[in-house]
A and B are shown apart, each in its own frame.
Chain A
């Protein structure tokens, strides 16, 4: 695959009009990747999800050059609430519509501002090497976006064995707010999606970010998010992880200044042989910040779920509140769940905790429900849905909460 990859890379350089500095950054990223290859289980961050093995098991060859179709028919996705939207096709910006908003308060543009430091994560090297554009959404200072923004991510029909590299950055300027729902709603054949996002939340700003993967697909996905929070800003993050064959969400949050807060919650709900991982790092860098995390997993058939969560508290970050809890229900003996909670604390006046439980469904609860006329499978479903519903109830946007309940079928 390596030689093919090199040809692909040379081709992408020759096909595009990159500037010399862009070419240089791309080449360095490519070289770093080429030298080290994909992460594998010898790497601590990847020990539960060997992406190198997963890619080679699923693809004989990967095509890194995807021509964007000029015309794409957006699939009708019924949303029964007013919303703004941006659609992406094969990872590239396709169309957007902000009909409910003041036009000069939201900017959507494309550029190719790549980081000039070379990341040690080779998946990000790959992303930088093959990107042809970075989409950027900016919310202007003082503007509260009225309606939720839906990001639709489509893949062209018939696309297969392709590597889709995408990057969508969001910048909330000071005193602004945005609710964004990111939909991974492609139903294509098997592809590898490498999706990076950098988010900056300005002072006194609020971002609600909902990352939903409801549809069954054969895709292998890596999502990497870097989120920086300024003074007195708030992030509400929610993950619905259930559709794709493989997903790893790598979420890095930096509480860069005082009084920032994060509520990060997620559901991993799997069947068949799906394999999903949520990995979070919350960096408490300054005083008086708070972070709360709740991840619940329900695993069926031969599925595998992983939660790795780290809370880092720097010496300056006194008066930190940092909590994380992972709970998993294992519905049979063939499933696997791994949790790796970590606290790394260098300040002395902090409140931090972590917890992780995993267990079977409670047979006494099943008996209780069956004695009220529900069958075994109905009882099990009600119990697991109730278990997951506790996380969904944390979604503060009512329209999105209803949508998530509908998409996941969890309505109790």
Chain B
């Protein structure tokens, strides 16, 4: 589904990714762990189309050259990024935003857009699954949300949009134990043989709940080791600095 070959990325002449390779097949859950500054967020930004990087290498998504697609086209094709720091959008009602988003994607795919009733039904169902207080959806998007509410809102968006590839950029940071469990359950409920996940994290804790199929260690802009869940446990013991 996603194939990354020798990906290099620079920002302001500083090389951040230095030849990264990764292959994700449908239904797989991959975790990328790494210390601060190793290039984790750069990778998620590049995959979802953020501007400002000088990029070399090859990235294909379902056989298409991903790097040639605009950010919104990637969303239309089923890539979703759960932001580390979701943006606050003042004056925009969260429900209005969610409806605009899902209908933009449906329209691009040539599917029928949701009317108000269908949308509300979907929102009700998904918020209940995630134990997300619906009242919050009548507030301005992410404005005044607690850290946990922002992250849960990202997972709610993910579950509404039902993407093929979900990238979770440090979704666990700033979450308390209950929120972490809810977020993990949200991810697990979306797992099936077609949907894939790329989970970026510092810690093993989230992975205890989500149980990835593969764990990769990112250091200095490269994946230096790949393995299964045991690798995450080892990392937690040894620490990033001494890990080679």
Chain A: residues with CB nearer than 8 A to chain B? Answer: 362-365, 367-376, 378, 382-383, 385-390, 393, 411-412
Q: 17 A-B Cβ contacts within 8 A?
A: A369-B97, A370-B70, A370-B75, A371-B75, A372-B104, A373-B101, A373-B102, A373-B108, A374-B100, A375-B104, A376-B72, A378-B100, A382-B100, A385-B91, A387-B90, A412-B91, A412-B97
Closest to A392 in B: B91
B72 touches A386 (CB 8 A): no
Number of A-B contacts (CB under 8 A): 85
Asked if A373 meets B76 with Cβ closer than 8 Å, knowing A412-B91, A412-B92, the reply is yes
A386 touches B157 (CB 8 A): no
In the assembled complex, the CB of B126 is this many whole angstroms from the nearest CB of chain A, namely 15
Q: How far is the CA of A389 from the CA of B96 in the complex (A)?
A: 13
20 new A-B contacts, CB < 8 A, other than A372-B101, A373-B105, A389-B91, are: A367-B49, A367-B51, A368-B86, A369-B97, A369-B101, A370-B71, A370-B75, A371-B48, A371-B71, A371-B81, A373-B72, A373-B75, A376-B70, A376-B72, A378-B100, A382-B92, A386-B91, A387-B91, A390-B91, A412-B91
* Residues of chain A contacted by B161 (CB below 8 angstroms): 372-373
Q: How far is the CA of A363 from the CA of B50 in the complex (A)?
A: 10
A368 touches B75 (CB 8 A): no
Question: B226: CB under 8 A from chain A?
Answer: no
In the assembled complex, the CB of B95 is this many whole angstroms from the nearest CB of chain A, namely 10
In the assembled complex, the CB of B218 is this many whole angstroms from the nearest CB of chain A, namely 21
* Residues of chain A contacted by B97 (CB below 8 angstroms): 369, 372, 382, 412
In the assembled complex, the CB of B82 is this many whole angstroms from the nearest CB of chain A, namely 10
* Residues of chain B contacted by A368 (CB below 8 angstroms): 83, 86-87, 89
Q: Which of B120-173 contact A (CB under 8 A)?
A: 140-141, 157, 161
Closest to A386 in B: B91
Asked if A374 meets B140 with Cβ closer than 8 Å, knowing A368-B89, A386-B90, the reply is no
Asked if A374 meets B104 with Cβ closer than 8 Å, knowing A388-B91, A389-B92, the reply is yes
| The one of A362, A364, A374 that contacts B101, using a Cβ cutoff of 8 Å | A374
* Residues of chain A contacted by B75 (CB below 8 angstroms): 370-373
Q: How far is the CA of A367 from the CA of B10 in the complex (A)?
A: 19
* Residues of chain B contacted by A378 (CB below 8 angstroms): 100, 104
B89 touches A383 (CB 8 A): yes
* Residues of chain A contacted by B83 (CB below 8 angstroms): 368, 371
* Residues of chain B contacted by A374 (CB below 8 angstroms): 72, 100-101, 104
Question: B93: CB under 8 A from chain A?
Answer: yes
In the assembled complex, the CB of A297 is this many whole angstroms from the nearest CB of chain B, namely 14
Closest to B141 in A: A386
B49 touches A386 (CB 8 A): no
Q: How far is the CA of A371 from the CA of B104 in the complex (A)?
A: 11
A365 touches B87 (CB 8 A): yes
A412 touches B96 (CB 8 A): yes
